[in-house]
Amino acid sequence: MPTVVDCPTCGKKVEWSEKNKYRPFCSERCKQIDLGAWAEEKYTIPGAIPTDPLEEDKQ
């Protein structure tokens, strides 16, 4: 039985298989919407606040 997931963009049920070239998305449209959201910085990946190497030398 194939695995079924929700499209991250629209929530439609999608089969996770090699037959679906857009997986995990249901369509090219949903894939492009998601890519656009990343490009507009609507999504972020949490990380450590970068330190300034010049400030470290002063300590």
Q: Could you tell me which residues are annotated as the binding site for Zn(2+)?
A: 7, 10, 26, 30
Annotated binding site: 7, 10, 26, 30
- Residue 32's Cβ-side half-sphere holds a number of Cα atoms within 13 Å equal to 3
Q: Return the CA Rg of the chain.
A: 19
Task: Tell me whether the omega of the peptide bond preceding residue 2 falls within 30 degrees of 0, making it cis.
Answer: no
